[in-house]
Amino acid sequence: MRLILGLGNPGKKYETNRHNVGFMLLDKYCKIYGLEFKKHNNYFWTKKDDVLLVKPRTYMNRSGVAVTSILTGNRIEDILVILDDVNLQLGEIRLRDQGGFGGHNGLKSISTALGTDYFKRLRIGINSPQQEDLSDYVLADFDQKEMIIIDKAIDFCRYLLDEYIKTDYDQLLNYYSKNKKSYSEKIIASQDRK
């Protein structure tokens, strides 16, 4: 079984926070396919084919607790983590199959729980704060103009998840490579309308 883990914080007040793009993507994906999340002690989960889709209930900084809980009850062969990235432009997408945590406490918690940095990541850019404190910035909501761009990013990422679920990570990379240019043009067009 494979695992797609969308990072974020549970609860209404965090729903449209910049830190919650992992949750936003999984929520949109599951809504389109009519999938409903079930509650476990440490996470919400649902399945599509042989892939477990999970949102931790442990809050961002303790995402690793949810991962440990998942690994206890399931045989997981591959992990794809969806997260926000302040080091990428708004709406920019980056795929990596390993790396450091870059100041992201959710990733740090997962790395600690797994004892390795070798797991796949789908990063969605949220821009870096200009003057705000980092934690204030990531826990603030996207504004309306930002949401136009994030919605486009989430729509594109939905197809990336399809490729991953139907095939594997290599095919996801192929799909991304082939379609990145047209996707980037849509993002630029969205930004031009700001």
The token duo for 56 is 């931790």
Could you tell me which of 143, 156, 144 has the C-alpha nearest to residue 187? 156
What residue spans of the chain are helical by DSSP H? Answer: 21-33, 63-73, 105-114, 134-138, 144-166, 169-192
Residue 120 and residue 99: Cα distance in Å, rounded?
Answer: 9
Neighbour tally for 88: CB within 10 Å: 16
β-bridge mates for residue 120, sequence order: 80
Q: At what angle do helices 169-192 and 144-166 cross, to 10 degrees?
A: 160
40 is catalytic: no
The token duo for 183 is 């996707």
2, 6, 9, 19: which is the annotated catalytic residue?
Answer: 19
| 185, HSE (Cβ side, Cα atoms, 13 Å) | 3
Q: What is the set of active-site residues? A: 19
